[in-house]
Structure 1
Amino acid sequence: MRGSRIGGRIAGMMTSLGYGAQERAVYSEDPAASRGRLHREPESPTRTPFQRDRDRIIHSTAFRRLKHKTQVFVYHEGDHYRTRLTHTIEVSQIARSLARALRLDEDLAECLALAHDLGHTPFGHEGEDVMHECMAPYGGFDHNAQSLRVVTALEHRYAEFDGLNLSWETLEGLVKHNGPLTDAAGRPVGKFAGTVLPYAVRTYAERQDLRLDTWPSAEAQAAAIADDIAYDAHDLDDGLRARLFRIEEIRDVPFLRSILEEVDGRYPGLEEQRRIHEIVRRSITRMVEDVIANSLRGLIELAPKCADDIRSAGRCMVGFSEGMAHAEKEVKTFLFSHMYRHADVLAVRKLVARIVRELFARYMERPEELPREWRQGLDGADKARRARRVCDFIAGMTDRYAIEEHRRLFDDTPELG
């Protein structure tokens, strides 16, 4: 009954916007009107620009590596815990669902979801934190900016250009899916306020204007909120299955308590594995339905006539309601204390931090230890250029390869399991 009531409400909102069941909204990105690519190429006769971007991302080396990069690096890895790849696929599914309900371009939303984690280091957030620490004297490290660097420079697949030569809309959504990076005067805002933009963003902005002072497309916003939803749900799932916390402990979070009570009331005595799945899937459903309903309300109020009206709206147009945003923050707070700061997880994080830190120091001191293709052109290079090359190399590693490289270079690689 709850689902049918929400579905009816959403259908009514769509009618208010004037769109039929299958009609693309006027505020969605039109692939036929794409701003194009940095390097001109003939258009595909069988695929839209966004479908072509999606295919290039899926076939990239960086995308394949995601299957051996962890999300939250737990000490007892198993076949059923999420990797960056499985997380990315889950984000893609949610992004497409949101795009379909909001009548956006599903291919662009999927494309952005598939690309959003390409710049992540090995070993989850611990790897990123250590890489930022190591790169602090040279401009720092940001995984989102590194994703841009991967698709514009580091992928070497095509004869005529470096990178994947993705469309403007894909690059724009990738670099600023969480909002504007600068104000109209070009001054960094948000988490970069008072500092400088990441290296990859600064250098690419010299080649192509991605309108860093505006919000991104609605498709990019859908991919961004899909990332949050997937992250919360699968960390809850993995944390419960890894027994980092118990089901009864989630009663401390009102949002999760209401779902748990709903499941237990409908299925008393349900076995734990099914109980966990019911909790997780209901969490995703509630969050997705909230985003759809809240976004449609905002779109009715804004009444955008084109995709650029979304960019100039001055606020996020695809996101949680105020109540759900508060609930989602409580879920994240719970996961932070019960999972990310769990003693077992922290113990492994300390070990993987050492691996990344020591690899960086070793390559900086002895660049001849880098593979041949990575040390080319470093003779006589200044320290900043060497550091960026080392950073690119380590950031592209899988967890497994980073451990193997450490074993090759050192005699005392930590045992992680």
Structure 2
Amino acid sequence: MDWASLLNLGRLGDPSYAEEPHRPIYVQDSDRIVFSQPFRRLANKTQVHPLYENDHLHHRLIHSIETASVGRSLGMSVGHWLETQKHIEAGQKHAISGLVYAACLAHDIGNPPFGHSGEAAMGEWFEERLDGAKGIFGAVEASHRAEFEQFEGNAQGFRILTRLEMYRNQGGMRLSNGVLATFAKYPVTAYVKSSVRESYCGLKKFGVFEAEREIFEEVALATGLRAESSPVGVSWWRRHPLVFLVEAADDICYSILDLEDGFTAGDLSFEAVRSHLEPVSGVPNHQREDKTEIEWISYLRARSIGASIHSCVEAFIENYDSIMDGTFSNSLIDTCSKNKEFYGIKKVSRERIFTARRKTELEVSGRNTIRQVLDGVLPVLDELKTKNWDESKLSDYNGKLSRAINLDFRDAKDSYHALHVLCDFVSGMTDRYTLKVARMISGN
């Protein structure tokens, strides 16, 4: 892969667009993301702690902004190195940081309510219905089942960016090809992923729905991503090199800030958090002086982020050749000099934060709330199928329900696309709105 193609700033859906003087396209891309409704909704979507009343804990919007800040710093450092090594032209380091910043802003834009437990709840619900294959589910091809049964926020995010938001079905937000390729952590569809036996980090999950496969092919071709064949005759692609920086920014933020949130929420003691952050930050406890526990944790968090950025930049440089030829198959966090410290942080998060009682109780509640909404909306789609996808012929109740929750049927032209309409609606809800719709449907 070469940077001349990888930094392609042509707009999806608007290739003739001319860049404004002194306002690069990747800056415009960031603005389009920030001012979009899907980005705004992240303010009421779970990061780790669902429906928490403590305003100092992270939600998806704050996490996305912080991740973008870290991603920009990673991009600046890597871009500077690329310029000094003559891998890119003078001045293109700004494009490197700009693409990473925009992709980081959008990296969680497709996540459903209640975090990863919401993804699991949606996938579980679809798997149960597709096994029965009744009603609308009976017409879904076997090759399309996996993208519902393993519902993936990354693929939903790509769908939002390229199809649903702004210019619907005409390029979506019309972001640059470079930003879209940098966003694509898993450049493969669910069906192709299931057929490929190679072990590669970009195949860990899927990041493109079949409905957007041709769109991604256009992005991949424009940016020169390395294409690979599959047993089912459809390509998958190696990651854009800057994806590793987006992934590192996310890893740095959620790992370190989950600890800070764990302390704020009372799930972790001061000593537990301090013992994990001090080795990352390189700052010994005897420098604490007169700082309070909260102040010291905040200080360690800031220093740890800075040290982690430096370590991940070094890892990118050390693995540059394999990243560029598409054979690097690890995360920068797991490869960098701080990998042992991050392993310890992730271990304590799994054992102490993700299993905290209040969090677990709310995840169970969130799962059942999502299922209640899906169960309540499904009859509308089942009837719509029998009425040949004509929403004007819906029964009185189903018509009222679809209007009350503003269901958008414009793309519901068959069972496959109708199920994506359902996913678009449910994954787009905030935690609070999911509870509201569930109560309305149940009458409580």
TM-score scaled by length of structure 1:
0.78
Cα distance per residue 1:65-109 (max 9 Å; x no partner): 111112012464221111111001100110111111111411101
Match status 1:376 vs 2:367: no
**Quick check: 1:291 aligned with 2:312?**
yes
Cα distance in structure 1, aligned partners of 2:282 and 2:174: 49
Q: Tell me by how many angstroms 1:280 deviates.
A: 1.5
Please say if 1:151 is aligned against 2:158.
Answer: no
Aligned pair 1:406/2:438, yes or no?
yes
- Would you say the 8 A contact 2:267–2:352 is kept in 1? yes
Contact 2:71 2:104 in 1 (8 A): yes
Aligned to 2:121: 130
Gaps of 5+ in 2: 80-92, 131-144, 228-235, 382-397
Contact 2:45 2:59 (C-alpha < 8 Å) held by counterparts: yes
How far, CA to CA, are the matches of 2:281 and 2:97 in structure 1?
32
> 1:44 and 2:19 equivalent?
yes
Q: CA deviation at 1:123?
A: 1.3
The structural deviation recorded for 1:148 is 0.3
Distance in 2 of aligned mates of 1:45 and 1:261: 44
RMSD: 3.4
Which AA in structure 2 matches 1:142? E
Deviation at residue 193 of structure 1 after TM alignment: 9.9
Give the aligned length: 372
- Partners of 1:246 and 1:229 lie apart in 2 by 21
Deviation at 1:378, TM superposition (A): 8.2
TM-superposed CA distance for 1:52, in Å, is: 2.4
Q: Report the equivalent of 2:392.
A: none
2-structure distance, mates of 1:378, 1:99:
37
Partner of 1:222: 245
Q: Does residue 335 of structure 2 align to residue 314 of structure 1? A: no
How big is each residue's C-alpha offset from its partner over 1:170-226, in whole Å with a ceiling of 9 and x where there is no partner?
222222x3677799998375589999956x433322244124644333332211110
- Deviation string for 1:13-37 (max 9, x for gaps)? xxxxxxxxxxxxx958775x53552
CA shift digits 1:19-58 (9 cap, x unpaired): xxxxxxx958775x53552443421323333222222211
1:201 maps to a residue whose letter is F
Contact residue 75 and residue 345 of structure 1 kept, 8 A: no
Distance 1:29 1:66, change over 3 A: farther
Matched, 1:112 2:126: no
Query: Does the CA contact (< 8 Å) of 1:28 and 1:219 recur in 2?
Result: no
- 3-state SS, counterpart of residue 209 of structure 2: helix
TM-score (norm 2): 0.74
Structure 1: distance between partners of 2:24 and 2:202: 37
Say if 1:279 and 1:38 are closer, same or farther in 2 by CA, change over 3 A. same
Deviation at 1:331, TM superposition (A): 0.8
Q: 1:108 to 1:261 in 2, by over 3 A?
A: closer
Q: Counterpart in 2 of 1:272?
A: 293
Using the alignment, how far apart are the partners of 2:57 and 2:120 within structure 1? 22
Instruction: Pick from 143, 165, 178 the counterpart of residue 169 of structure 1.
Output: 178
How many angstroms apart in 2 are the aligned matches of 1:45 and 1:218?
A: 27
Provide the identity percentage.
23
Residue in structure 2 matched with residue 70 of structure 1 by the alignment: 46
Give the match for residue 397 of structure 1.
429
Larger relative contact order (C-alpha < 8 A, sep ≥ 6)? 1
Give 1:237 shift: 1.0
